[in-house]
A and B are shown apart, each in its own frame.
Chain A
Amino acid sequence: NAGVMQNPRHLVRRRGQEARLRCSPMKGHSHVYWYRQLPEEGLKFMVYLQKENIIDESGMPKERFSAEFPKEGPSILRIQQVVRGDSAAYFCASSLQVTGELFFGEGSRLTVL
């Protein structure tokens, strides 16, 4: 049973470009979460999704950031018009049940030049 798969592992973008990060949850998991780890800071919750639904996006910046988890395919975190402050590691996690054990992917490390 493959774990949580994230790609790309590393992504470099210039200011103003778009970044798309993908996450495939563990098989059978329907709860997907995105977290961000800024340099020298802890992990912070961004968004919680179930298939085709955003359940909680209270940690997402109001502008430029969006997330989806379509019926088919991976969850996608999209950052439009990236700025240097978006440089961070973005982690995806999935769980079988709400409030159950969470499993994390290896993360996608975004560098904005």
Chain B
Amino acid sequence: KQEVTQIPAALSVPEGENLVLNCSFTDSAIYNLQWFRQDPGKGLTSLLLIQSSQREQTSGRLNASLDKSSGRSTLYIAASQPGDSATYLCALIMEGGKLIFGQGTELSVKP
């Protein structure tokens, strides 16, 4: 059974810091991996999609990596800003398009 773990569960950093969020999974038989952010009381916003054949994807200050063999993905946020405060979710895209989510990392960036 596929399990997704995100570490840390919560993170508080001062503005301007670079940070790394971790996601690990138990079964490497995934199609793709997607990172989302969720603001309180809101829906999910797609940040980055990494296809299984890719090693990383970049969008602005965000960089996500994927190592299927070790069952790990990381989301790197450069020069963090208070507006980055949200819950970050890692999701595996499995056969049939079904997503399996981690529990999320709650990020707080202090001005």
- Write the residues of chain A forming the contact surface with B, with a CB cutoff of 8 angstroms: 4, 6, 31, 33, 35, 42-45, 48, 55-56, 91, 93, 95, 98-107, 109
- The reply to whether A42 and B99 form a contact with Cβ atoms under 8 Å apart is no
- The reply to whether B44 and A98 form a contact with Cβ atoms under 8 Å apart is no
- The reply to whether A99 and B43 form a contact with Cβ atoms under 8 Å apart is no
Q: Given known contacts A100-B97, A104-B36, A105-B43, what 17 new A-B pairs fall within 8 Å (CB)?
A: A4-B43, A42-B102, A42-B104, A43-B44, A45-B99, A48-B96, A56-B96, A93-B44, A93-B99, A95-B97, A98-B97, A99-B31, A99-B97, A100-B32, A102-B34, A103-B46, A104-B44
Given contacts A91-B43, A91-B44, A107-B43, contact A102 B97 (CB under 8 A): yes
- The reply to whether A106 and B42 form a contact with Cβ atoms under 8 Å apart is yes
Question: Does B98 belong to the interface (CB within 8 Å)?
Answer: yes
- The reply to whether A45 and B98 form a contact with Cβ atoms under 8 Å apart is yes
Nearest CB in chain B to that of A59: its residue:
B98
In this complex, the member of A48, A100, A106 whose beta carbon has the largest number of chain B beta carbons within 10 angstroms is A100
Q: How far is the CA of A98 from the CA of B95 in the complex (A)?
A: 8
Q: Closest approach, in angstroms, between the C-beta of B15 and any C-beta of chain A?
A: 28
Question: Does B75 belong to the interface (CB within 8 Å)?
Answer: no
